[in-house]
Amino acid sequence: MTALRSASSIDTIACVGAGTIGGGWAAYFLARGYRVKVWDPAEDAAEKLGRLIDAAWPALAELDMVEGADKSAFTVHRDLAEAVADAGFVQESAPENLQLKRELFAELDELTAPDVVIGSSTSGYPMTEMAVNLVHPERFVVGHPFNPPYLIPLVEVVGGELTDPAAVRWAAEFYELIGKSVILMEREVPGFIANRLQEALWREALHMIDQGEATVEQIDRSITDGPGLRWPMHGPMLTFHLAGGEGGMAHMLDHFGPSLKSPWTRLLAPELTGQLRDAVVAGCDLAAGERSFADLVAERDAGIVAIRKLAGGQR
């Protein structure tokens, strides 16, 4: 592929689509000091975007904003060619519709120089399914954010079959450069990682509501007042590493392994082979690193205390 332009030389970014996600990206890019050109066909796009950026700005000022960031450094366009002209990077956040994405990608492919990387905010389509019939598919990469993109650090980065690995690396480095927490996936999986986990939980919740097993209020409170208080500190794996007590994940799996067979969710578990057990245990040991059991407990508890004491006192 064409040599990609240097990520640090970029001063203008095009946001294609200015809904909740695209508008959130625009706010983030502005806070990082970029000039942002936004394309959206909606009549009231500029007005809505202005409101979104106004609402996001104070939070951005507390966390990720760089000096000299200008919240008015954006323009809204109804002509796509105009929006992407002179943009060093394009973040596409159009509605989640495969045919629409394909058509939009074809246009973007034609309207942008081949050394410009195009990141897609798709919630779950593999790039291989979106990047069809393109002249330069090698610079199309998934860069999947979480709502609100101006506050949640995670961006999942993965290419399609026709994406050049150099473009995938470029996107990962670019998102890291602007302060994001990047997960670079080696392999295309529908829904990527976080949305697969979140979707499993969401589908179990829908089944429970459907069957009258729980109400919407109970589902939400079971998370906000329960496991949701632990997850900002430790993900599901380290959480269960701690639940195993001083024996950690090894004790957890050897002891609670049988509950994997319990009908505790509608999702069947994989067979807990020795290989899977060992991979999970090794991953947790690696993640814990030099932190002892007591260190991890102290870290978790300090986090829960702080969250429960949040101003506003929602908990």
Provide, rounded to whole angstroms, the least separation between the CB of residue 141 and a second copy.
17
Instruction: Give CA separation, 125 vs 34, 89, 93, 97, 296, in Å.
Output: 28, 20, 12, 9, 36
- Name which position in 44, 67, 217, 290 contacts a second copy (CB under 8 A): 217
- Name which position in 219, 250, 254, 292 contacts a second copy (CB under 8 A): 219
Stretch 168-187 residues interacting with a second copy (CB under 8 A): 181, 183, 185, 187
Task: Tell me the residue type at 128.
Answer: T
Q: Whose Cβ is closer to a second copy: residue 9's or residue 210's?
A: 210
Of the listed pieces 33-41, 77-85, 113-121, 216-224, which binds a second copy according to CB under 8 A? 216-224
Q: Distance between CA atoms of 49 and 127, rounded to whole angstroms?
A: 27
Q: By CB under 8 A, is residue 283 in contact with a second copy?
A: yes
Provide, rounded to whole angstroms, the least separation between the CB of residue 139 and a second copy.
24
Count CB atoms within 10 A of the CB of residue 176: 15
Stretch 138-167 residues interacting with a second copy (CB under 8 A): 146-148, 151-154, 156
Of the listed pieces 2-10, 67-75, 169-177, 197-205, which binds a second copy according to CB under 8 A? 197-205
Q: Element (H or E) spanning 280, and its range? A: helix 274-288
Provide, rounded to whole angstroms, the least separation between the CB of residue 67 and a second copy.
19
Strands (E), the chain: 12-16, 35-39, 74-77, 89-92, 117-120, 140-144, 154-159, 181-184
Q: Whose Cβ is closer to a second copy: residue 78's or residue 308's?
A: 308
Q: Distance between CA atoms of 123 and 95, rounded to whole angstroms?
A: 10
Stretch 18-37 residues interacting with a second copy (CB under 8 A): 19-20
- Name which position in 70, 79, 110, 225 contacts a second copy (CB under 8 A): 225
- Name which position in 46, 243, 250, 254 contacts a second copy (CB under 8 A): 243
Provide, rounded to whole angstroms, the least separation between the CB of residue 25 and a second copy.
15
Stretch 101-130 residues interacting with a second copy (CB under 8 A): 123-124
Q: Distance between CA atoms of 265 and 263, rounded to whole angstroms?
A: 6
Contact 39, 15 (CB under 8 A): yes
SS3 label, residue 218: helix
Q: By CB under 8 A, is residue 257 in contact with a second copy?
A: no
Q: Distance between CA atoms of 179 and 160, rounded to whole angstroms?
A: 24
Stretch 48-87 residues interacting with a second copy (CB under 8 A): 55-56, 59, 62-63
Q: Whose Cβ is closer to a second copy: residue 11's or residue 246's?
A: 246
Provide, rounded to whole angstroms, the least separation between the CB of residue 230 and a second copy.
7
Q: Whose Cβ is closer to a second copy: residue 1's or residue 307's?
A: 307
Q: For residue 52, which of 21, 80, 78, 77 has the smallest C-alpha distance? A: 21
DSSP 232: T
Continuous H helices in 75-186 = 80-84, 98-111, 127-130, 165-177
